[in-house]
Chain A
Amino acid sequence: MPHTSYIRPTAISRLLITWLLMSGLTIISMLSGDVFETDEIAAPIGLISVVILMLTTLFKCRLLLLDFLELRHEAPQWRRGFFFAIFMIITMVIATYSLAFGI
């Protein structure tokens, strides 16, 4: 029977995949936020874009907590606690945006 451990990512390759994912998502966020525009852009990006942006942030934070901070193998209560705290902040931002600029 073939050994299955070769298909599991090693600790180092998992870190590299996490870094690539986080960097890629940041670059996509930067491009969608018109970072290369030299003019001052103040037009609202819309609630859907804000929700996507904040969910991307939540995902990046989750990757950082699990792989960089090594909470993947710790007690699930800690993972859930940190994730919930970040989720609350992101929900607060989305709620504020929808109240301030409408849906």
Chain B
Amino acid sequence: MRPPDKDSDFYEAYLRETASDSNPNDEGQPAPINCNQAIGTIDTNQNAWGPLDALPGNPMMWILIISELMVFGLLLAGYCVKLLDNPDLFINSQAKLNRLIGGLNTLVLITSGLFAALANKASKKNKISLARAFLSVTAAFGLLFLVLKFYEYSEKSAIGISIETNSFFTLFYLMTGFHAAHVIFGLLLLGLVSCYKKHENIQTACAFWHMVDLIWLILYPILYLVR
């Protein structure tokens, strides 16, 4: 009989049943081996995360990366809907942004991504001190990104622009603020893996950092340049 799907309600009952089948019976004789069960057990152990096992780093991080991409995709969908609602408001509000700082921040994140990738390569070759040095440079660029972002926010605040100014700035602060929160979380992760410096840990933190980089690569032209 084919085992039920792992997500179905019957899977737990199936596991209990197969476990009781494999126990010795009342006469102390071992139960006959169920070929399907043996194959199923081996399959489950070797392929616990399914297709996610094929990706570099911890599969949990990839679940986070995929969900973050979806969240930002939905936020951008909301941005597009509001842009269609009032294109003139969006184009006039966007003109108040500092496009140079946005661009510099893109260059900063791309460069930090390079050092994260180099750290990953170094840890793969077991050059841990070199990997830590590259991680420190990555974190330094991450901090520079936050400094520039803070400068940009304070510049806007000085001319009376805030999250409540209009729908463009609400979405702008929501998306860039949420992204900056991810940069802060990424910096914490980079600090953690500098201490717990197993290759898989470094690979996982670097995957998260690249995701932060990827999202900014999409946000920058849409929020600052498309008009």
Contact = CB atoms under 8 A, between A and B. Distances in A.
Contacts of A85: 69-70, 73
Contact of B217 (A19, A60, A78): A60
B226 interface: yes
B55 A93 contact: no
B94 A42 contact: yes
Interface of A is mostly: helix
A57 B217 contact: yes
A42 B168 CA distance: 14
Contacts of A15: 114, 117-118, 121
Contacts of A100: 83-84, 87
B179 to A, nearest CB: 14
B177 interface: no
B85 to A, nearest CB: 9
Contact of A61 (B100, B121, B217): B217
B88 to A, nearest CB: 9
Nearest to B85: A100
A89 B76 contact: yes
Contacts of A22: 110, 217
Interface in A32-68: 32-36, 40-45, 50, 53-54, 56-57, 60-61, 64-65, 67-68
A53 B54 contact: no
Interface in B142-166: none
Contact of A88 (B73, B83, B95): B73
B174 interface: no
B224 A33 contact: yes
B113 A89 contact: no
A101 B87 contact: yes
Nearest to A42: B95
Contacts of B70: 85
B227 interface: yes
A42 B69 contact: no
B171 interface: no
B103 A16 contact: no
B77 A78 contact: no
Given A93-B222, A100-B83, A27 B207 contact: no
A74 B221 contact: no
Contact of B117 (A42, A68, A86): A68
B6 interface: no
A64 B117 CA distance: 10
29 contacts: A22-B110, A26-B106, A29-B103, A29-B225, A30-B103, A33-B99, A33-B221, A34-B99, A40-B92, A40-B95, A41-B227, A42-B91, A42-B94, A44-B91, A44-B227, A45-B226, A45-B227, A50-B226, A56-B221, A57-B221, A69-B56, A70-B117, A78-B54, A82-B69, A86-B214, A86-B218, A96-B80, A96-B84, A101-B87
Interface of A: 11-12, 15-16, 18-19, 22-23, 26-27, 29-30, 32-36, 40-45, 50, 53-54, 56-57, 60-61, 64-65, 67-71, 74-75, 77-78, 82, 85-86, 88-90, 92-93, 96-97, 99-101
